[in-house]
Amino acid sequence: MREQNRNAHQWRRVKYSYMDVRCEANRVCPTIRGTRKIWNSSPAGIGLLDAKRQGVFRSYNDEVFERFWKHDLDIESGAALDDVMKRAGADVTGFSASVEGAGRPSVQMAR
Protein backbone atom coordinates (compact mmCIF):
# COMPACT_ATOMS: atom_id res chain seq x y z
CA MET A 1 0.00 0.00 0.00
CA ARG A 2 1.12 3.52 -0.74
CA GLU A 3 0.89 4.78 2.88
CA GLN A 4 3.42 2.14 3.97
CA ASN A 5 6.01 3.51 1.54
CA ARG A 6 6.05 7.06 2.96
CA ASN A 7 9.07 8.33 4.82
CA ALA A 8 8.95 10.61 7.90
CA HIS A 9 9.20 13.78 5.80
CA GLN A 10 6.26 12.71 3.63
CA TRP A 11 4.16 11.96 6.72
CA ARG A 12 4.94 15.46 8.08
CA ARG A 13 3.74 16.91 4.77
CA VAL A 14 0.52 14.89 5.03
CA LYS A 15 0.00 16.11 8.60
CA TYR A 16 0.57 19.79 7.76
CA SER A 17 -1.55 19.59 4.60
CA TYR A 18 -4.38 18.18 6.69
CA MET A 19 -3.93 21.00 9.23
CA ASP A 20 -4.11 23.56 6.40
CA VAL A 21 -7.34 22.00 5.13
CA ARG A 22 -8.85 22.06 8.64
CA CYS A 23 -7.90 25.71 9.08
CA GLU A 24 -9.45 26.73 5.78
CA ALA A 25 -12.53 24.60 6.38
CA ASN A 26 -13.08 26.18 9.80
CA ARG A 27 -13.03 29.55 8.09
CA VAL A 28 -15.47 28.56 5.33
CA CYS A 29 -17.76 25.82 6.68
CA PRO A 30 -18.80 24.59 10.10
CA THR A 31 -17.66 20.95 9.94
CA ILE A 32 -14.88 18.95 8.34
CA ARG A 33 -13.90 15.47 9.38
CA GLY A 34 -10.67 13.66 8.67
CA THR A 35 -10.68 10.86 6.16
CA ARG A 36 -11.04 7.30 7.46
CA LYS A 37 -8.91 5.65 4.81
CA ILE A 38 -6.76 6.31 1.78
CA TRP A 39 -9.35 6.83 -0.96
CA ASN A 40 -9.05 6.07 -4.65
CA SER A 41 -10.40 9.38 -5.95
CA SER A 42 -10.18 8.39 -9.63
CA PRO A 43 -13.96 7.83 -9.99
CA ALA A 44 -14.66 11.28 -8.54
CA GLY A 45 -12.01 12.75 -10.85
CA ILE A 46 -13.58 11.08 -13.86
CA GLY A 47 -16.89 12.60 -12.80
CA LEU A 48 -15.23 15.98 -12.41
CA LEU A 49 -13.85 15.88 -15.95
CA ASP A 50 -17.20 14.72 -17.32
CA ALA A 51 -19.05 17.43 -15.38
CA LYS A 52 -16.63 20.04 -16.74
CA ARG A 53 -17.21 18.87 -20.32
CA GLN A 54 -20.96 19.15 -19.77
CA GLY A 55 -20.85 22.57 -18.13
CA VAL A 56 -21.98 21.43 -14.66
CA PHE A 57 -18.58 21.50 -12.96
CA ARG A 58 -19.49 23.83 -10.10
CA SER A 59 -22.61 22.00 -8.89
CA TYR A 60 -20.91 18.59 -9.19
CA ASN A 61 -17.73 19.74 -7.46
CA ASP A 62 -19.55 21.53 -4.64
CA GLU A 63 -21.70 18.51 -3.78
CA VAL A 64 -18.82 16.02 -3.97
CA PHE A 65 -16.57 18.21 -1.81
CA GLU A 66 -19.20 18.94 0.83
CA ARG A 67 -20.57 15.41 1.11
CA PHE A 68 -17.13 13.74 1.04
CA TRP A 69 -15.84 15.77 3.98
CA LYS A 70 -19.04 15.13 5.92
CA HIS A 71 -18.51 11.39 5.34
CA ASP A 72 -21.76 11.30 3.39
CA LEU A 73 -20.38 10.24 -0.02
CA ASP A 74 -18.32 7.26 -1.12
CA ILE A 75 -16.16 8.76 -3.88
CA GLU A 76 -15.18 5.26 -5.01
CA SER A 77 -18.80 4.34 -5.77
CA GLY A 78 -19.83 4.79 -9.39
CA ALA A 79 -23.51 4.59 -8.41
CA ALA A 80 -23.16 7.33 -5.78
CA LEU A 81 -21.30 9.59 -8.22
CA ASP A 82 -23.87 8.82 -10.91
CA ASP A 83 -26.53 10.26 -8.58
CA VAL A 84 -24.44 13.38 -8.00
CA MET A 85 -23.98 13.81 -11.74
CA LYS A 86 -27.75 13.54 -12.29
CA ARG A 87 -28.47 16.17 -9.62
CA ALA A 88 -25.89 18.44 -11.22
CA GLY A 89 -27.82 18.21 -14.48
CA ALA A 90 -25.39 16.05 -16.44
CA ASP A 91 -26.24 13.38 -18.97
CA VAL A 92 -25.03 10.20 -17.27
CA THR A 93 -25.21 7.97 -20.34
CA GLY A 94 -21.96 6.03 -20.34
CA PHE A 95 -20.79 7.46 -17.03
CA SER A 96 -20.69 4.06 -15.30
CA ALA A 97 -18.55 2.66 -18.14
CA SER A 98 -16.19 5.62 -17.76
CA VAL A 99 -15.79 5.00 -14.06
CA GLU A 100 -15.22 1.29 -14.63
CA GLY A 101 -12.36 1.83 -17.04
CA ALA A 102 -12.94 3.93 -20.13
CA GLY A 103 -12.41 7.23 -18.29
CA ARG A 104 -9.26 6.26 -16.43
CA PRO A 105 -6.87 7.27 -19.26
CA SER A 106 -8.36 10.79 -19.25
CA VAL A 107 -7.73 11.09 -15.50
CA GLN A 108 -4.14 9.95 -16.00
CA MET A 109 -3.63 12.54 -18.74
CA ALA A 110 -5.18 15.35 -16.64
CA ARG A 111 -2.65 14.97 -13.84
Q: Which of 4-8, 16-20, 40-44 has the lowest mean pLDDT?
A: 4-8
Give the mean pLDDT of the chain.
Answer: 83
When pLDDT is averaged across residues 73-94 and rounded to a whole number, the result is 93
Q: Distance between CA atoms of 37 and 59, rounded to whole angstroms?
A: 25
State the pTM of this model.
0.65
Give Cβ neighbours of residue 11 (< 8 Å, ≥ 6 apart): none
When pLDDT is averaged across residues 38-63 and rounded to a whole number, the result is 94
HSE (side-chain half, CA atoms, 13 Å) at 109: 7
- Furthest CA-CA distance within the chain: 44
Q: At residue 2, does pLDDT exceed 60? A: no
